[in-house]
Each structure stands twice: as C-alpha cells, then as structure tokens.
Structure 1
C-alpha cells in the first residue's frame, strides 16, 4: 500500500506563478482521498484585498471542505510580503507566530502543508525572515515546484544550492504545469531537472488540471509520484516524452 505523505511539508517554488498552489492542492487532495486529516497554512498572502479568495480558498475549492485552511497575514499589493507589509502599514509576520501555528496544526492533523510566497528566500519581514528559516526552525522538508521550460535548470540548481547550504532536506521537485504539447527544451528538461535539483522528479501537474474541481483528486494522483501519495511514474513519463 502506498503510504503517501504525513507530517509536515513546505511547498516552495523557483519563483512566482510556477504552480505552487496547484501542487499544494494536489498534495492535499490525494491525502484527503487516502483518509488523512490535512491542514494548509499560507503564512503570507499578498495581492489580495480583504474578502477576496486567496490561495487557501483555491486549495479548498480543489481539495474539498475537510481541509483546514489557515492564512496568517494578508497584504493588498502583489509584492513580496516584507515590502507589501511595509507599504500597507500592516504588521509583518514573525518567526514565532508562524512556528506557533505550524506546531498547533501538526498536533491536530496527519499532514500539514505550508505554502510559501514566491521562492525559498523571499523575505517576510525587514529582519530577513524567509520560508527557509521557518523550515529550519521546525525541521520540515521542502518540496520545490519548478517550471518545465527553458531557463528552469539554472533556477532549479540555485534553489538546490540554497537548500543544501541551509541543511534543509527535500523529497524532490514537481513540475507545476506540464503542457499538452511540450517543446524540445521541456522534453529534455525531464532528464536534466533531477540532476540540477540533486533530488528526484516527483510529478508533473498537467496544464489546466485545476480548472474543474470535479475529479481533481484523480488527476492529482495521476500526476504525483508514490512518495507524494500518487501513482505517477517518473521513468515512464520521461521515456514517453524523450
């Protein structure tokens, strides 16, 4: 039986708009389908006015109403949390506040997913707090969402170097959006991405997978490797597109 995910996992990315929320929702959906209690924490949501549906709401739409959703801070401008907090005059996040929430959620759930803002080293406050700092403080692993196309190898390698230099563990990487008709660079990157990441490729979410919540858990399971609770076969997928 596939053990799937349990415990605590941070979901980061090599940049913005790489598919972190879609992958977070996919991880949550397959865990819920396996009978696990799941919580998703978004420490800092930017670019959303009060009352607007943010990333947590998107996870809930796709993964279902049983997922516990937590958002600690929201800033209206689409900027890094530190900059957005400063410009808005709202309080910035602190390490203690995030760690306290993580501990409370992990005590009450089988799986807690913490979705970052942007990439691993995006600042949450003027002291330089990053998602990497939070992961180190609580001992969580970091899954990185990457893009498929040209330019992804360098950003993936830089992210891997940042993880290693901080002693952070990672189960692997996931491609946040895989098109129906990948170009040459995308197809070649399937073999090259794990080399630059220094970690396995554990999934590729098809483009458009989040359009309809109906059947999303099945699509998610088909796009995630067994290590993440799914049924995706990295070797077979890579061979298909080679």
Structure 2
C-alpha cells in the first residue's frame, strides 16, 4: 500500500492528527513516509499548516503542500476568491506517484470531506484517488451523527469503484457518551469496512516524543499498530 488517501467526514475531526499517527507508526517500523497536502486553506502564507503539524508530531517525514489559499473555504472557492490556480487531480496524481517512487508510504490528506470541490470543474479528492488507484481511510468523529456521515462517505467511494481501507476515530473523548460507545460496534456496518483505530482526545497536545511512542497503540495492525477494536469496545461498551 504505497499510497493511502486520508479523508474526513467533515472538518476539524482529527484528520491531520490521524495522518500524523499513521506516519509516526510507519517511521517506527523503519518505513520512509511522505505526507502530501494538495490544498491547504485558511492559513496565511507565513503560518504553519497541516503538513507542519504532521512533521511536528510524527518527526522527520517528507512533507509536500501543493497550494495554499488564505480563506477557510472549500479549495475551489478559496482559489477562485484569491485569484489563484486551483489544484487538480492530475497534479495530485503526478506528485503522489513521484513520492511513492521514493518512499515506502505516501499519505495524501484531503481538505474537509471526500467530495469537496478542488477546482471549477467540480473535481474532488475521489478523482485523485481513482487516478492513483489508492485506498481511502475515513477519519470520523466519535459521537452522534458520525454514522450517517461515515455511511455517506463510504457509499460515495463504492459508487466510484474506490476501496475504503477502514475508519479511524479522530478524537475519542475522555468521557464517551452512549452514542460514542455504541458507534464502536456500528462503524464497520456503516462503512462496510473495519474500524482501524481511535485517537485519544487531545492527542495533538502531547509532547511529540510521547505522541510517537503511543501512536501504535491507537491504530490497528492494518495501519502498522497494535490497537484491537474488539478489546477497545469491550472495555468501553
């Protein structure tokens, strides 16, 4: 699996931190990793973006950002309003393939959800995934409403002939409510794919060395870690 697309069911759900955890686990296993952020929005030119956050948490991985747009909007809208050239799927494809030739793992982190428009033609991250023939990892919130958003994302993948690698919970709360606890068993049914991890709330606030040391315990073996969905659910059900 040289290329893995990381998408979310929405914004601010832990997608970047999950990407960092996957990269950290790869590095711990002696694999070289690269992170590609096709479109960074809502960040000024002199501010650190998602790639910088992944590098801070995961350590020295290769980080590439293709375009940056200052307003916190969908990439196509942000590019248009800034008068800048949008990112297109073929550019993502070319860059990811070049990185894959030089690294064991390439993580392509989208902006927002799977079908957010990248350009004026309506191209999306799903189009890039199709060009790359790459599996897609869905990052979802823990609680109420997450199952519907996860099911819709997974259904969109299937409709396009794309494979859902699994689901990772981007932020597992310290005090999970009933919906979050029940969702542990329901995520695989909604996604038709396994639950592959749960990152603790405030994982990004850990010291980077502690983050790297703990990352494997948050992710399932399919992502290089030691996390077990059955045991996690039994302990919190």
Q: 2:184 aligns with which of 156, 169, 190?
A: 190
Q: What aligned pairs does 1:145-164 form with structure 2 within 5 A after superposition?
A: 145-164=139-158
Supply the distance in 1 between the matched residues of 2:58 and 2:130 (Cα, whole angstroms).
27
Distance 2:209 2:181 in 1: 29
- Offset of 1:30 from its aligned partner? 0.4
Within a 5 Å distance, the mapping from 1:37-56 to structure 2 comes to 37-56=32-51
Kindly state the Cα deviation for residue 84 of structure 1 after the two structures are TM-superposed: 0.1
1:97 Cα deviation (Å)?
1.6
Kept after mapping to 2: 8 A contact 1:175/1:204: yes
Who is 1:128 aligned against? 122
Matches within 5 A, 1:168-183: 168-183=162-177
- The equivalent residue for 1:104 is 98
Distance 2:213 2:202 in 1: 14
Alpha-carbon separation, structure 2, partners of 1:96 and 1:144: 22
Map 1:55-94 → 2, pairs under 5 A: 55-65=50-60, 67-94=61-88
Asked if structure 2 preserves the Cα contact closer than 8 Å seen for 1:209 and 1:219, the reply is no
Kept after mapping to 1: 8 A contact 2:90/2:128? no
Measure, in 2, the Cα distance between the counterparts of 1:128 and 1:185. Answer: 34
Aligned-pair CA distance for 1:223: 0.5
CA distances 1:145-197 after superposition (whole Å, capped 9, x unpaired)? 01101011111111111011001012210000001110111111111111111
1:197-229 residue CA offsets vs partner (Å, 9 max, x unmatched): 111100000011111212112221110001100
| Cα distance in 1 between the residues matched to 2:57 and 2:170 | 15
Q: SS where residue 172 of structure 1 aligns?
A: strand
Paired residue secondary structure (1:108): coil
Runs of 4+ residues deviating >3 angstroms: none
TM-score, with length taken from structure 1: 0.96
Partner of 1:215: 210
The unaligned stretches of length 5 or more in structure 1 are 1-5
Residue 232 (str. 1) matches residue 227 (str. 2): yes
- Distance across 2 between alignment mates of 1:29 and 1:93: 27
Gap regions ≥5 residues in structure 2: none
The total of aligned residue pairs comes to: 236
SS of the aligned residue for 1:12 comes to strand
